[in-house]
Chains A and B, each alone.
Chain A
Amino acid sequence: MSSWILTALIAIPLVGALFLAGAPRKNEGLFRWGSLAFMAVNLVLSISLLSSSWETPGLRYVVDIPWIEQFGIAYKVGLDGISLWLVLLTTLLTPVALFASWLSVNQRIKEFAIAFLALESAMIGTFVALDLFLFYVFWELMLVPMYLIVGVWGGKDKIYAALKFFLYTMVGSLLMLVAILYVGSQYHALTGIYSFDLQDLSRVALPYSSQIWLFSAFALAFAIKVPMFPFHTWLPDAHTQAPTGGSVILAAVMLKLGTYGFLRFAMPMFPLAAHYLGPTIAAIAIIGIIYGAFCAWMQKDVKKLVAYSSVSHLGFVMLGIFSLNASGVSGAILQMVNHGISTGALFILVGVIYDRRHTRLLSDFGGLAAVMPLYAVLFVITSMSSIGLPGTNGFIGEFMILAGTFASNALQPWSRIFVLCAATGVILAAIYMLHAVLKMFWGPVTHEANKALKDINLKEGLALAPLMLLVFWIGLFPNHFLKPMESTVEQYLARYQSKLVEINRDDSLRLLPPELASGAAAPIDEEAEQQAEQQAAARKPSGDHYVVGALEAGSHTVSATAR
């Protein structure tokens, strides 16, 4: 029975959306609280996912039922340590964002609630889909509600921003669709049957020349979503025009789908291409870190500043992923969650001040600490988490990523230089965030309008409370969050390496043995499991902090000879 939890997580918001669509428009309260109630059920249900024993790797809660049998397309969903936290992030952040939205959205309440519920359903679907066709469907479905949220409830240039967001994403994903179809047809050519199951398609060993193209198509779709430099230009527009709730979801969850896509699909399916293009992508990620930071520094509009800081932070995530060792990848996954929390909170805080002053220009503020002390405290805490101050969540993620990059074999011989450059990004983050804090909160109150501003109220506080809690929870007890993903990441990397070695040995078109496939359901065959456990035990000094242990990871990394 419990395997249907994921399906329920997808279905409950959808049922909620249909229910609200049929409800009479007059009763505003029903839409405001009804939508939150459905999301709350989802949140509680998703927390029960933690009860699974996450010490062993592999996918659980797997449901696999045929959908379009002619093409072997199935409704296959499952959860592993990689997607676990992202699903929880979604179920937590969506109600928070919606709750925060209800403080300022007063028009077309019904449609807003429906759009948010549909969005939650599609996002969860994207995180748990294990069939590439299904993944693509959810990936596209996500676009429409977000498009409407930006375009209908957005600011002055909302239409431009919404169209740009939609078209950028669509171009990337259509090319990814062609790549998916190509891999599917190669699988058909090899086996005579169709399948879009990740477990099947990741067994196809493709020649280097086609891997490069296919990986590029996937990478383009995901890089636009992340967004990586130079495909990031839609992001500041979408963020500044979107309503607060839309920005929160966009930054906190939707961007993660890009990085998640690399991890789940692009790299395991095309390891050879990922291996050869990895350093290049890491370099682009570093350009993004520094470029995003400089752009953020120069912004006059605080919401744009936060938007550009996302470009910078997601550069770290990409760097961690392509460092391809336990510390880097775990750090990247944790940093995805961290970024969701801290940037989500920042957007809510910016929304709070915008609702009061109807401006977001840094120059319109100043001295707010005296007027709104509690607000200032929360803003500073969130900024610190965004910068990565020790004790907050951001520190753990960034430290692990930098540590992973330092020790990375995949990024040799540039790993040290990469760390150096990326670390500059941390310093720049401190500069632009503290710059914003300085402009907004310290100094004398220069504007008359700011003198009578009310401090943060109970509802706003309630929206921010869970995020503040998590900032410190992750910051002080990171192992609570790292433990469940540990075994999955180990197994993920081991599989990636063995598949890379195998394909590097012989990159002719053929079907690899099943044990090299990704996306197998747990429990996988016991021997490999035991091996993974032994390796994990051997690598980790007893009782030591996981971060330190992870530093020595990557010893089994194989550097393939250059082509």
Chain B
Amino acid sequence: MLDLIIRFSPLVLVLVGAAAVMLADAFSDKGQSNDLSTVTFWAFVGASGGAIGLWVQGDTMALHPLVAPFLAADPMALLLDAVIAGAGAITALLAGAYLREHQMERGEYYVVMLLAAFGAMVLVHSTHLLSVFVGLETMSLGVYSLAAFRRTSPRSVEGAMKYFLLGSFAAALLLFGMALLYGATGEMELAAIATALVEGSAHNTLALLGTALITAGLAFKVGAVPFHMWSPDVYEGAATSVTAFMAVVVKVAAFTVWVRIAVVALSAANLADPFSGWPPLVMGLAVASMLVGNLSALVQTNVKRMLAYSSIAHAGYIMVGFVAYAHSAAGGDEGAGDQALSAMLLYLASYAASSLLVFGSLIWAGSKGKEVVSYEDLKGLGRRHPWIGVAMMVGALSLMGFPPTAGFIGKYYLFQSAVNVGDGLIPLVIFAVLASAVGAFYYLKLIVVMYMEDQEQEAAQAVPMRSVHLWAAIGLAAYFVFRIGIAPGNYMEIAIGAARAL
């Protein structure tokens, strides 16, 4: 039993953190949320440290039979634990600054956030359709309520409502897909499903239909076109600290479980030919996401909406890696397949760091009474507050994929792995780089308004907030943006290790 607790120490620590925050909130006076944010931060740091420790230790303890079919503690799960907990730690700091400044501090925020992160971590450990669904719902319910956290704001409630309704619909699709897959194979464990599909005992049409439905359900969670309708409204309506959490943690967890299902359960049967099964679906989703995401982001006036569409576009880039994996797996090239998977993982990590930096800077720029949400609010910011300007610019350049930041390495690695597959994917890569050139335009617009335009005199100027929590969060995010951007070597190694073990 102790083995089990050690093996799952990241999850356990997050749960313990949630319990501790709940208790602390019950026994403390109101208005102490800053301390709760610190507790949450350390819980996440502990979880992240636990995951890293387990990775370093690297032995393969047999799992307790209680969880064995449901959860795995493999390198990939540990890596993603570290990413999710790290992102959780930074968003906890952001929330500590943001909620206090805008007087929304309530202890339950941190409890819900920890529990949602717990759900996300269960998700990345899942090796069974049941635990996938439980993890997904735990995460989603937490995020739904976080999205509605700013309950006095109609936009926040509207966004959360949309998210909840559409999310439930997507969950139904996913569940239906799982049911069909179970019906087709008689199995719910991912590895067993693969065996059933390979042995030919499965009902192929049902399995294919199930695959399509599961793909649709997960595409909703990562915000891929055409299942993206919710994201701009939710991103815009939710409190910015929630948006940051959602943009990063949900996307990372959903992509991971998608990879796991596609690679472990559905690969063997479908990948004899890269143009059957889920790969063509994913390719379609990738192209649509890059196209619609980038073009829609161009015309936004609200920065958070722009970032929502840009995150859709990023989902599209990540799926290029997915397609690359499918092609190399079909070609029997395992090395290239691992590389494609690890490229997706690294891209997720770099996307997380750069998004957190941009959202952090947005939070930083505003204070009580005047939040920064539109391009209008950002005008002249770079001149009035150079440090915020620099932080935002670095974040934007990283999302754009500009050296020497994490975003560039992420894109480079992703596109390299797609090119390595062979000539077949070159058109897709060219499409992706052209799409990111379109993307450059709206990220540059951030820099344009910050540095090259002046605010009208009469307009109310946002005053930046002052908070040690926030500065710590920005510092951490910036560190990772440059760390991955300048010396990505060992991160690549870790990502490859995770992909190889899958």
Does A136 interact with chain B (Cβ within 8 Å)?
yes
Does B58 interact with chain A (Cβ within 8 Å)?
no
Does B444 interact with chain A (Cβ within 8 Å)?
yes
Does B68 interact with chain A (Cβ within 8 Å)?
no
Is the beta-carbon distance between B453 and A178 smaller than 8 angstroms? no
Candidate in A144, A158, A163, A170 with the most chain B CB atoms within 10 angstroms: A170
Cβ proximity bits B415-450 to A, threshold 8 Å, 1 near / 0 not: 110011000001001100110110011001001100
Closest to B449 in A: A159
Does A475 interact with chain B (Cβ within 8 Å)?
no
Question: Closest approach, in angstroms, between the C-beta of A269 and any C-beta of chain B?
Answer: 16
Give Cα A137 to B408, complex, Å: 9
Cβ proximity bits B390-427 to A, threshold 8 Å, 1 near / 0 not: 00000001000011100010001001100110000010
Does B165 interact with chain A (Cβ within 8 Å)?
no
Candidate in A137, A152, A174 with the most chain B CB atoms within 10 angstroms: A174
Chain A positions within 8 Å of B489 at CB level: 67-70
The stretch among A180-188, A272-280, A528-536 that forms the contact with chain B is A180-188
Is the beta-carbon distance between A141 and B419 smaller than 8 angstroms? no
Taking a contact as CB atoms closer than 8 A, the residue among A67, A140, A163, A175 that contacts B448 in the complex is A163
Give Cα A151 to B393, complex, Å: 14
Closest to B452 in A: A151
Is the beta-carbon distance between B444 and A166 smaller than 8 angstroms? yes
Does B70 interact with chain A (Cβ within 8 Å)?
no
Is the beta-carbon distance between A162 and B437 smaller than 8 angstroms? no
Given the contacts A68-B492, A70-B493, A163-B444, A174 and B434 also touching, CB distance less than 8 Å: yes
Given the contacts A181-B415, A181-B416, A185-B420, A137 and B433 also touching, CB distance less than 8 Å: no
Question: Closest approach, in angstroms, between the C-beta of A388 and any C-beta of chain B?
Answer: 38
Is the beta-carbon distance between A185 and B416 smaller than 8 angstroms? yes
Candidate in A70, A108, A152, A175 with the most chain B CB atoms within 10 angstroms: A70
Given the contacts A148-B451, A152-B452, A178-B430, A171 and B488 also touching, CB distance less than 8 Å: no
Does B496 interact with chain A (Cβ within 8 Å)?
yes
What's the dominant secondary structure at chain B's contact region?
helix
Please count how many residues in chain B sit with their CB below 8 Å of the partner chain's CB atoms. 33
Is the beta-carbon distance between B419 and A182 smaller than 8 angstroms? yes
Does B368 interact with chain A (Cβ within 8 Å)?
no
Cβ proximity bits A67-85 to B, threshold 8 Å, 1 near / 0 not: 1111100000000000000
Does A167 interact with chain B (Cβ within 8 Å)?
yes
Taking a contact as CB atoms closer than 8 A, the residue among B408, B419, B448 that contacts A159 in the complex is B448
Taking a contact as CB atoms closer than 8 A, the residue among A158, A166, A177 that contacts B433 in the complex is A177
Closest to A163 in B: B444
Chain B positions within 8 Å of A140 at CB level: 402-403, 408
Give Cα A163 to B436, complex, Å: 15
Given the contacts A140-B402, A144-B402, A182 and B453 also touching, CB distance less than 8 Å: no
Give Cα A137 to B447, complex, Å: 20
Which residues of chain B from 359 to 387 have a CB within 8 Å of any chain A CB? 383, 386
Is the beta-carbon distance between A178 and B419 smaller than 8 angstroms? yes
Question: Closest approach, in angstroms, between the C-beta of B408 and any C-beta of chain A?
Answer: 8
Chain B positions within 8 Å of A144 at CB level: 397, 402
Chain A positions within 8 Å of B416 at CB level: 71, 181, 184-185
Is the beta-carbon distance between A174 and B437 smaller than 8 angstroms? yes
Is the beta-carbon distance between A167 and B440 smaller than 8 angstroms? yes
Closest to A174 in B: B433
Chain B positions within 8 Å of A148 at CB level: 447, 451
Given the contacts A108-B383, A162-B452, A167 and B496 also touching, CB distance less than 8 Å: no
Give Cα A108 to B382, complex, Å: 11
Chain A positions within 8 Å of B404 at CB level: 137, 141
Give Cα A85 to B399, complex, Å: 36
Taking a contact as CB atoms closer than 8 A, the residue among A70, A171, A185 that contacts B419 in the complex is A185
Given the contacts A166-B444, A167-B437, A188-B420, A151 and B451 also touching, CB distance less than 8 Å: yes
Give Cα A133 to B412, complex, Å: 10
Question: Closest approach, in angstroms, between the C-beta of B412 and any C-beta of chain A?
Answer: 8
Chain B positions within 8 Å of A167 at CB level: 437, 440-441, 444
16 contacts between A and B (CB under 8 A): A70-B492, A71-B416, A140-B408, A147-B447, A148-B451, A151-B447, A151-B451, A158-B452, A166-B440, A167-B437, A171-B434, A177-B433, A178-B430, A181-B412, A182-B419, A185-B419
Apart from the given pairs A69-B489, A175-B430, 19 other A-B contacts in the complex at a CB distance below 8 Å? A68-B489, A70-B489, A136-B403, A141-B403, A144-B397, A148-B447, A151-B452, A152-B451, A159-B448, A159-B452, A159-B453, A163-B444, A166-B440, A167-B444, A175-B434, A178-B433, A181-B415, A184-B416, A188-B420
- Can you list the 7 inter-chain pairs with the closest CB atoms, starting with the nearest? A174-B433, A137-B403, A181-B419, A185-B420, A151-B452, A171-B437, A70-B492
